[in-house]
Structure 1
């Protein structure tokens, strides 16, 4: 799952994809409705790739948590972020058993699940394992070809 250009903009609902940088800010496209907006450099913007969740050991990158949810749900949708707090906390405990319950609030869990479901509905949740195996297969296929060329 590639979340390098996905943004959360404070005061704006949903997620946005970074399109173009300008002198005074940048242009982003909403993943909710596809509308493009201009965002000033003074706006409070967070890249999803830079967000982490507190655990008792260290901070865990959001990308890893989203990948864990994708594996658990087989790339399907997760539970709704509108479930009651106890259900959300229990679900998140399955995903990240050692999250810091004092520093990770219910609103944070809701955001993560809402973001995952939005990314999933837009087809941005993909299995990364097949890509790695196809690269390995192409490497192993090339080696015999080179060996044959040496013999001839």
Structure 2
């Protein structure tokens, strides 16, 4: 599995695995509770593969940020996404010191940390890095 089959859906918590495309939208499975649902075309759906984090020099793909968190945590869970804004900023600064603090908001850091923890809980980090290496 790769990041192009993992989705974030605006207005819905967590991450979703794309199962199939339907006429009226997508059939997805929640990575939090494994429930299947249909997401209509009116929802704003983001594919994790297309998301990058701003740095002062370039944009860093989300998979690289996840790899840096995995190295820092020795493939364990990261800090809680419910930590304070300052704790999250300090943590993210350790992981990606060159991130652009003016364009990467606390809410973005919170999402990245939450997504990493969801992927880690579902044992998808190893398969993501392996599938990216094969490509």
| TM-score clears 0.5 | yes
TM-score (norm 2): 0.91
SS in 1 for 2:56: coil
- How many Å separate the matches in 2 of 1:26 and 1:85? 34
> RMSD value over aligned CA atoms?
1.7
Count of matched residue pairs: 131
Q: Which digits, 9 at most, give the CA deviation of each residue in 1:14-38, with x for residues without a partner? A: 1000001112211000011111111
Partner of 1:17: 17
Q: Structure 1 runs of 4+ off > 4 angstroms?
A: none
Are 1:112 and 2:115 an aligned pair? no
Relative CO higher for 1 or 2, CA cutoff 8 Å, sep ≥ 6?
Answer: 2
Q: After superposition, what is the alpha-carbon deviation per residue over 1:88-111, rounded to whole angstroms, capped at 9, x for unaligned?
A: 111101111110101101111010
Paired residue secondary structure (1:4): helix
1:66 match: 66
Q: TM-score, normalised by structure 1?
A: 0.81
Structure 2 residue runs without a partner (length 5+): none
CA distance in 1, matches of 2:33, 2:110: 20
